[in-house]
Structures are given as structure tokens and as C-alpha cells.
């Protein structure tokens, strides 16, 4: 059981021991915006327990309005990278700018407003300022500089946070991108902001340094939203990003098992791989038998508290080549030994996720 999920994976120079990814999860346990000893051990513990690839919590790029949450890390990752590598793990930072989600009175400079494509938090809800062309250039440079710095620190690649209604996604979404210049337009044209970032990162870091793009249909502002209503529209969205140099797509959904479009069982990661030929990461309530899981799916949960049929579905999809990697969030937050227990089919010993785990860094 679970042979494919524990098989190696290679993407250029990136070599992973298995197909399990630790999903990025904001923790807000970095006072002063620098990872501390607790952060170091938090990531070390997951690497030591055989997580194939760790994607860090969102790490704000060097722009004055990038941050939207207290005590998130900005700089100072060297000891984390070294700790993960000492345990034989691989790690990428998730590069982040929150855009219009930023509120006043947030660190590090409380006087800085939100910056976004059209000065909107969500449709018809103004917040902050509309980015000028000079602002766009400055933010793009911040992303590129962050990627270059990550490479110098020894990270194994970078992930760009283009999901959930944050800045890159606000450019993608027609409800928050009302621009009439080259950074607005139709769905493909609205990728320009991200495309230029990706092109510049690849030019500066080389073709062997992986760039992952995390994207989603849903937004924090609207869970039901779809950027693309059909596979044809999704292809229009993905092509310029693929052409720009994205090496892998991290396809964020709330429930990984749900088909993305009618007439096919493929989820978002499956469709993305089919349309682009690029490797993909699936994610969304993996291992949970509660939370987002609806009543229909709740019936498949084993008495151990873990939905074991999920892993049969994941295994079948991996073997079929529908997607390549599986990102796990809350289960790994709760239980650092989750991967070992999955390998041994020790479902009854897995710790069920509890919101109490959000209150500490373990």
C-alpha cells in the first residue's frame, strides 16, 4: 500500500525521497519577523520525520506593504535551511505579498496602507491604494530579490504565493483587477504581473532553480469563486505562466477529492498537469475526516479518525500520473510523525487535528 506516495521524485536538480509535501501554514510565531529556535526545531522535526519537501509558511518579500499578519517571518532563514538539510530534507520558502488584504496598524510600519492592482480588498470594497507602474516594478523587484536571496541561502527552490486572494491572485481576478493598462485585460493578460516576476527570477537564478506557483480558484474573499469555469479557460490562464518558466504548479483546493469541472473526475491538480505537462502538487484537507469534509465524505472515515479511503484515492491518482506530489497541512501541523505512521499504515496512532495545535509551535 502507498507505494507511489513513497517513491522518489525528481525535478531537475531537486530530488525528493517521497511525494509528501508540508503545505505552507502561517504560524505567527516569529517576533521581530525573524525565525527563532522554536521555528528552527519546528521545521527540523518534520524533516527528521521524512517529509519529502517542506514549503515554509508565507515569507514576506521586501516591500513595505507586503505583510498582513503579526509576527510572520521576513528574514533570517539560514539556520532553518541548515537544520532541514542536516536531516536530509528539502525546503522552499513561500514568497508572499498580501496586497489588498493588508490592514492599517500592521507591522513593520503601521503607517503603510495596502497596495493592490485597483485599490480593492474584494469586489467593490476599497482598501489602500492602487499600484502605479512604479509600484508594480518595485514589488516585482522585491519578489525577484527574495528568490535570489533564497538561492544564496541554499533553499531548494521557491514557491510564489499566487493563491487565496493575495496580491498575485488579485491581479489574476477580474473582480479585483480593474486596470486598463498592460496589467489588466482578459484572463491571460491579467497574468502579466506574475509572468514578468517568473521570467525575471528564472533569468537571475537559472533554469536549475525550481520555481513553484501556488494558485487557487477560491479566494478568502469568495470560497465559491472560479477564475476559470471551463478547461479551455484554465488553459488560457496557465499557458503564459507555463511559458514564463513555472516548473511546478501547487494547486490549492479546499477538498482535493472534488472534481474541478463536470464531465471529468480530475481535480485542479489533475487538470493543470493535463493542460501544461508540468508536475503538480495536490492539496486540500488531506488526511482529515472532519473540518471541511462534508457529510457524504465523512462516511468514509475509519474508526481510527483518519479517512483511509483518501489515501487509496491518492495512491491511484499518483499511479495514474494525474498529479505528482501531495501537500499535507493540518495533519502535519498536529503530528510531526504523520509520514512515518502513514508508511506503516498506523492510522489509529495518528493524532487527529485539533485547533489547539495552532496555539503553539511544536
Q: Which residues are known catalytic residues?
A: 166
Element (H, E) at 172: helix 167-172
Q: Burial level of 213, CB count in 10 A (0-12/13-18/19+)?
A: buried
Q: Measured between alpha carbons, how far is 115 from 171 in angstroms, rounded to an integer?
A: 12
SS3 at position 281: strand
C-alpha cell at 190: 491579467
Q: Identify the CA nearest to 246 among candidates 277, 211, 202, 197.
A: 211
Element (H, E) at 44: helix 37-48
Beta bridge partners of residue 57, listed in sequence order: none
Beta bridge partners of residue 252, listed in sequence order: 216, 283
Q: Measured between alpha carbons, how far is 149 from 153 in angstroms, rounded to an integer?
A: 6
C-alpha cell at 234: 484554465
CA dist list (Å): 216 to 24, 155, 223, 240, 272? 14, 24, 10, 16, 11
Q: Measured between alpha carbons, how far is 169 from 190 in angstroms, rounded to an integer?
A: 9
Q: Measured between alpha carbons, how far is 220 from 161 in angstroms, rounded to an integer?
A: 13
Amino acid at each position: 500500500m502507498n507505494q507511489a506516495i513513497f517513491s522518489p521524485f525528481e525535478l531537475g536538480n531537486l530530488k525528493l525521497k517521497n511525494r509528501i509535501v508540508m503545505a505552507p501554514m502561517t504560524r505567527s510565531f516569529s517576533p521581530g519577523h525573524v525565525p527563532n529556535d522554536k521555528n528552527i526545531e519546528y521545521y527540523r522535526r518534520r524533516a527528521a520525520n521524512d517529509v519529502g519537501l517542506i514549503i515554509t509558511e508565507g515569507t514576506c518579500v521586501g516591500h513595505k506593504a507586503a505583510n498582513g499578519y503579526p509576527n510572520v517571518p521576513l528574514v533570517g532563514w539560514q539556520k532553518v535551511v541548515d537544520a532541514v538539510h542536516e536531516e536530509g530534507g528539502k525546503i522552499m520558502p513561500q514568497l508572499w505579498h498580501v496586497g489588498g488584504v493588508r490592514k492599517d496598524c500592521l507591522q513593520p510600519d503601521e503607517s503603510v496602507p495596502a497596495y493592490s492592482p485597483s485599490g480593492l480588498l474584494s469586489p467593490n470594497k476599497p482598501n489602500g491604494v492602487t499600484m502605479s507602474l512604479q509600484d508594480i516594478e518595485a514589488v516585482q523587484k522585491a519578489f525577484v530579490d527574495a528568490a535570489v536571496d533564497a538561492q544564496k541561502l541554499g533553499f531548494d527552490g521557491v514557491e510564489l504565493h499566487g493563491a487565496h486572494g493575495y496580491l498575485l491572485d488579485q491581479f489574476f481576478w477580474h473582480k479585483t483587477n480593474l486596470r486598463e493598462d498592460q496589467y489588466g485585460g482578459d484572463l491571460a493578460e491579467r497574468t502579466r504581473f506574475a509572468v514578468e516576476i517568473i521570467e525575471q527570477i528564472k533569468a537571475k537564478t537559472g533554469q536549475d532553480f525550481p520555481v513553484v506557483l501556488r494558485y487557487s480558484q477560491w479566494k478568502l474573499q469568495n470560497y465559491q469563486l472560479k477564475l476559470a469555469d471551463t478547461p479551455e479557460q484554465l488553459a488560457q490562464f496557465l499557458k503564459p505562466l507555463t511559458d514564463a518558466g513555472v516548473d511546478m504548479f501547487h494547486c490549492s483546493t479546499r477538498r482535493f477529492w472534488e472534481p474541478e469541472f463536470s464531465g471529468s473526475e480530475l481535480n485542479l491538480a489533475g487538470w493543470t498537469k493535463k493542460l501544461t505537462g508540468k508536475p503538480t502538487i495536490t492539496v486540500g484537507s488531506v488526511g482529515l475526516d472532519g473540518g471541511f469534509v462534508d457529510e457524504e465524505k465523512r462516511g468514509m472515515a475509519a474508526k481510527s479518525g483518519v479517512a483511509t479511503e483518501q489515501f487509496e484515492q491518492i495512491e491511484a491518482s499518483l499511479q495514474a500520473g494525474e498529479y505528482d506530489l501531495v501537500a499535507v497541512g493540518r495533519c502535519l501541523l498536529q503530528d510531526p510523525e504523520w509520514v512515518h505512521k502513514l508508511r506503516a499504515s498506523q492510522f489509529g496512532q495518528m493524532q487527529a487535528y485539533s485547533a489547539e495545535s495552532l496555539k503553539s509551535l511544536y
